[in-house]
Chain A
């Protein structure tokens, strides 16, 4: 037997076994039938060449080449059959039959005439078939069927109502299809060009991928498929190279009769080298082809940076983490649970493909105890204590395998649940190390976000307090006037104190009273309007052109009503044409409110002054400056003003969030903010908004 025939023989046996397994797994499904037919065709094709490569007789070789070509021929209708069955194109069944019939019609000619196969070439690896006159015609039919299959799959892929699982399956079949097409390289030597026909390797990969995609529930990740194919093909090539090299070398050294010695030595070498070579190949493909995806440390560092700049919000952070894991470690299911102080339970805050959105884990459960005690990543199945807890069993039935605790000062603030990976690979030490690094950073940012949420609540309550004071004073007074005016009239009338007045005098009196009452009602209406303007919920930003001058007026009016600022202390100076900015009206006013309020705290009660200055920054940008002549601040304070929780006020006086919120709002409005300050002279905040002139 020729040494070149061994890999082909292996591939032939593989195809045969694959065909049998696939057929047996579901004998009624057209998918299985057509695909096993494809495998059997591959087997015939490969087996034919095993003999052709090995035989010394040209006659035997020609016969087996013809057998091989018959096998190869039927791969095309079989694959077409498979595509039609997979895409459920019932109308095309007749064409499938036609394609089988066409190939059957060619069989007698290819088996017995020179039309399709005119003879054999003798190459270094053995005999190989020689294309006849009509071979190009056959090739056209052959590729025609493959092209039609391609078109069917392509159309299926473009369908909008495709369910995700099927979409993934088609993705695999496509990748496999491209590989199979490269396998057509095996036709080149038929035209007299001496290239070893290694295409069968790719056909085998094709079988593996499609079989995996269709017949197993667990779908392979497409990148893993490529990775495994590369590793598999390279390994095969290297092993084959060693095998051929050593055998030939020993033949040269010892002589022709030493085939067995060569076989033994090369087998020995292969046994000892195959595993290290495989590991090496996996490492090389990981490093050079999938570096970005698999370099966890790098990825995690990037993500941790992202966490730092993220808007402080637990749900956002948890969701980003789930998304991040989805593209890096790629579990099928992931979920983040966070402790809820009010219910003493762990609630689901973000997830991907997690089936039970209402699942809550009690703070007193065994699961929580174990996570808190170990503080390390646990695989549920490997932990006896966990396996005895009801919550763990619940998580396992939902597909969760791995739990990563999130701890702050040994307290379990939450945990991260992962199922097995999409790739079906186990979690490696690299993975757990990476997850452990991530959990540390994640715990900190989630904890910060939780604190931030609480502080933001406090800030909101403080604002409500301000508004309440404002309402009490500003609404109370006019209301009081209305009451007094009406009540006076009523009491005087009742006491008979109006009796001496003339009709005209009374009408005049009533007119005076109603006028005052209407004015007061007007004042109340004005104030309630301003309050509701200001307290508008900021869930969705509505961007538009906002007139700056009015926005500033409204903010100052509000500050005045809230008794925060005396209107004499503040000056508005518009130094350019009437301008507008692109912003969310409510947030622009909140930004101005916070900055002016801050300035009012910084200035002297008597000599203090705040100037709000509007000028063009350039043709498309407007600069709003809030300038105060207050106490200013030293550099180290200035550098930290936008940091959350940083405050120079006494405890209880400021939440330290005002300017941090300003920064967040400025960012959300695509604007910029900077601060200049000199101790004892004052501070200037400059806002730069995109805008223009009316």
Chain B
């Protein structure tokens, strides 16, 4: 059975591109543009991995992560962000994100990272 990955980002074109790419590698991909949608999907589908941005239009990343972990503790979470601020990144690592990927994304590195997270 293919692994389920949920992507949360407010930039539609990016969301679709990344989704398509991951589908080519046989992942089941769900894309969401708001935290509400994402939390809903996490609650229902219990994805294996959630890729989310820190800057979210309706809720900040910290709060989203806390909520999502409550709903699905078994899921892995990875932050994908352009916000290259060591303090923020450190904080998320402490909060238990599996990895932090910086934008613009290096897809090969992302793929490697996803595979590593899902294997472990």
Contact = CB atoms under 8 A, between A and B. Distances in A.
B70 interface: no
Prevailing SS type, chain B contact patch = helix
Nearest to A473: B55
B84 to A, nearest CB: 9
B20 interface: yes
Contact of B14 (A473, A481, A491): A481
Interface stretch (B31-39, B40-48, B86-94, B102-110): B102-110
A479 interface: yes
Contacts of A245: none
B18 A484 contact: yes
A488 interface: yes
A125 B17 CA distance: 117
Contacts of B24: 488, 492, 497
A487 interface: yes
Contact of A484 (B17, B55, B82, B83): B17
Contacts of B14: 477, 480-481, 484
A476 B104 contact: yes
A485 interface: yes
Nearest to A490: B107
Contact of B107 (A476, A482, A488, A497): A488
Interface in A164-208: none
A480 B21 contact: no
Interface string B2-35: 0000000001011001101100100000000000
B11 A480 contact: yes
Interface string A470-513: 00110011011111110110011000010000000000000000
A483 B104 CA distance: 6
A473 B84 CA distance: 12
Contacts of A520: 13
A641 B19 CA distance: 51
A474 to B, nearest CB: 10
Given A477-B14, A481-B17, A497-B24, A472 B107 contact: no
A488 B108 CA distance: 9
B106, B107, B108 pick with most chain A CB within 10 angstroms? B107
B110 to A, nearest CB: 9
Prevailing SS type, chain A contact patch = helix
Contacts of A480: 11, 14, 82, 103-105
B21 A484 contact: yes
A516 interface: yes
A312 B20 CA distance: 58
Nearest to A479: B104
Chain B's interface size range is 10 to 19
Contact of B105 (A472, A487, A516): A487
Contacts of B83: 472
A481 B107 contact: no
Nearest to B106: A487
Interface in A22-72: none
B82 A488 contact: no
A655 B14 CA distance: 37
Contacts of B11: 477, 480-481
B5 to A, nearest CB: 15
A497 B14 CA distance: 21
A520 to B, nearest CB: 8
Contacts of B107: 483-484, 487-488, 491
Contacts of B17: 481, 484-485, 488, 516
Given A472-B82, A480-B82, A488 B104 contact: no
Contact of A516 (B13, B55, B82, B106): B13
Contacts of B108: 487, 491
Contacts of B13: 481, 516, 520
Contacts of A497: 24
B23 to A, nearest CB: 11
A490 to B, nearest CB: 8
Nearest to B18: A484
A688 to B, nearest CB: 37
B82 A473 contact: yes
B20, B103, B106 pick with most chain A CB within 10 angstroms? B103
A492 B17 CA distance: 13
Nearest to A566: B57
Given A488-B107, A491-B108, A476 B21 contact: no
Interface string A520-541: 1000000000000000000000
A516 B16 CA distance: 12
Contacts of B21: 484, 487-488, 491-492
Contacts of A492: 21, 24
A497 B55 CA distance: 33
Nearest to A488: B21
B54 to A, nearest CB: 11
Contacts of B18: 484
Contacts of A477: 11, 14, 82, 103
A488 B20 contact: yes
A520 B14 CA distance: 10
A125 B50 CA distance: 120
6 contacts: A476-B82, A476-B103, A476-B104, A477-B82, A480-B103, A481-B17
Interface of A: 472-473, 476-477, 479-485, 487-488, 491-492, 497, 516, 520
Interface of B: 11, 13-14, 17-18, 20-21, 24, 55, 82-83, 103-108, 111
Given A487-B105, A487-B107, A492-B24, 11 more contacts: A476-B82, A477-B11, A477-B82, A479-B104, A480-B104, A483-B104, A484-B14, A484-B18, A484-B104, A484-B105, A516-B17
